[in-house]
Structure 1
């Protein structure tokens, strides 16, 4: 899009006027921070007499998974100023101990130590910088009761959660077993504040999905708020984790 704009002698502001959007939207599309919508693609094809070039490109891009989501997620994690996470089954990677991570990685990878090192590097990029971000985590009760590794591994992981929860920038809460059906049953996800925008990441086996379009991200933000409304407060959550350690 940027190449076509330059070839037709249009500034970012001029193209924004023709697409009926603001200047920042055009910049974000050209920088890969926002997807080109089918309607916008059709307008560009008509504006520049390109037949259906942009419409086809958008359709092909929507149907293709090139596996690059993980690289993008790591970059967003590093740059985010606020992390919000809902975890339905497991302790999130950013809060895992090496032993807990090793037990998980060993289930699906032959190169266990490389997987663990990658996870620890992600943690360091988030927590060991000069101005660490705010991290708000809601754990489903399953995450603290589901045994991963042996008892010592799980006890160490729960102790690590308690230790991390003492940091002023980390808030860990638990959704208790007796909460009725809720929107978090659909699966784990997270929200990241990066600069002046929010992005979402929807977890799934093998591949996750980065969500960049503002209306879609807002859907995840609403789901997080609904889960937060029924999660236990911080003090009660610490007691739940301590009880799980004792058991």
Structure 2
């Protein structure tokens, strides 16, 4: 007799996804191989996802919904599943970020997660999470979907010039990443400024931080570290950091001049060495 793994659907979003996938498949009278044939994958992959040994993707979820006629169930679940792959201390921030209508962030060392290319993000994640790179990458790319909404949040990013010069991955990875930043030049909801070294001391010397604003809830201030994130709605902190951020925006290059600098670094530092 085949030993069928038992899942506790309340254990995690991933367990619930696998449990529900098996339930819906069996209700449709399909074997794993038959469902795999319907959605252009192997039955083995279906089995691995049902038993939580493999993380589902958004494309897989959309195909399952179409094949089983589940009305978008798995396409809705996949967001929860991918978000659950984030470090537990980061998940509360990710949930609030997804609800924000205005995001303003200052980054001192790396490109903000919402603007990272897959190759850049993969290189970063491999440093601290070599065994979970693909799962965390999928979660990070899922976060970026908020920029694709019909009504996306307004995103204002101030990057230290160091972000452009610190090579992450290969030269090709950096060139692609800087080109990706430039692709937002005509996006009305994304604004990118570079804070050049020449400004000297500035209002962000204490490090990276993010401010989230909402339509009906108090604003939040967020800063993270290696193993935890700190988030607060303390009005005095919000006021202080909002003023600090405004000063950073005023000190940084304009969005137009920032694009010129990004393009120059992309060509001079990461262009074809020949």
TM-score, normalised with respect to structure 2: 0.63
1:164 and 1:115 map into 2 onto residues whose CA distance is 24
Aligned to 1:225: 246
Task: Tell me what 1:14 maps to.
Answer: none
Matches within 5 A, 1:179-190: 179-190=199-210
CA distance in 2, matches of 1:139, 1:149: 18
Is the CA contact 2:89–2:227 (under 8 Å) kept in the aligned structure 1?
A: no
The equivalent position to 1:123 in structure 2, one of 144, 149, 152, is 144
> Which one scores higher on RCO, CA 8 angstroms, separation ≥ 6?
1
Structure 1's unaligned 5+ residue stretches are 1-66
Q: What SS does the corresponding residue of 2:183 show, helix, strand or coil?
A: helix
Query: 1:68: how far off?
Result: 5.3
| Partner in structure 1 of residue 99 of structure 2 | 79
Deviations 1:118-173 (A, max 9, x none): 1001111x112220111111000001111000000000000000002321111000
| Alpha-carbon contact 1:175-1:230 (below 8 Å) kept | yes
Match of 1:143?
163
Deviation at 1:220, TM superposition (A): 1.4
Q: How far 1:69 sits from its partner (Å)?
A: 4.3
| Cα distance, 1:227 vs structure 2 | 1.1
Structure 2 residue 183 is the aligned partner of structure 1 residue 163: yes
Distance 1:219 1:68, change over 3 A: farther
Where in structure 2 are the equivalents of 1:224-243 lying within 5 Å? 224-243=245-264
Match for residue 102 of structure 1? Answer: 122
Q: Which residue of 1 aligns with 2:25?
A: none
In structure 2, relative to structure 1, the CA distance for the partners of 1:87 and 1:112 (3 Å cut) is: same
Matches within 5 A, 1:24-103: 69-103=89-123
TM-score, scaled relative to structure 1: 0.70
**Alpha-carbon separation, structure 2, partners of 1:182 and 1:98:** 31
| 8 Å CA contact retained: 1:69, 1:210 | no
Matched ranges for 1:3-14 at <5 A: none
Secondary structure in 2 aligned to 1:164? coil
Counterpart for residue 225 of structure 2: 204
| Offset from partner CA, 1:20-40 (integer Å, 9 cap, x none) | xxxxxxxxxxxxxxxxxxxxx
Residue segments in structure 2 that go unaligned for 5+ positions in a row: 1-86, 269-274
Provide, for residues 89-146 of structure 1, a one-character-per-residue CA deviation record: whole Å limited to 9, x for no partner.
Answer: 110000000000000000000211011111001111x112220111111000001111
Counterpart secondary structure, 1:117: helix
